[in-house]
Structure 1
Amino acid sequence: MQLLLAEDDAILANGLTAQLNGAGFTVERAPNGPVAEFLLARQNFDIAIIDLGLPMIDGLTVLKTLRATRPDLPVVVLTALDKLDSRVAGLNAGADDYMTKPFDFPELEARLRAVLRRARPGAIHHDVVVQGLHFDRATRRAVIHGEPVELSPREATLLELLLAQSDKVVTKDQIAAAWAGDGGEVGAGNTAEVHIHRLRRKLEGSGLEIRTVRGLGYLLTAEHVHGRPA
Structure 2
Amino acid sequence: MTLIPHSREWYARLARELGGYRHPWARVLDGPDPELTFDALLAERLGPAVRVLEAGCGHGPDAARFGPLAGRWAAFDAVPELVAQARLNAPHADIHGWNAKGDIPDPLRGPFDLIVSRRGPTSVILRLPELAAPGAEFLYVGPRLDVPQVPERLAAVGWEVRGEWRVSVRARVPTRQDWATRCEWMNEPERLPEWDTHTGPDGLPYREERYVVLAGPPA
* Superposition TM-score tier, normalisation by shorter sequence: 0.3 to 0.5
Max radius of gyration: which structure?
A: 1
More strand by share: 2
Structure with more helix by fraction: 1
TM-score norm. by structure 1 comes to: 0.32
Higher RCO structure (Cα 8 Å, ≥6 apart): 2
- TM-score, structure 2 as length reference: 0.34
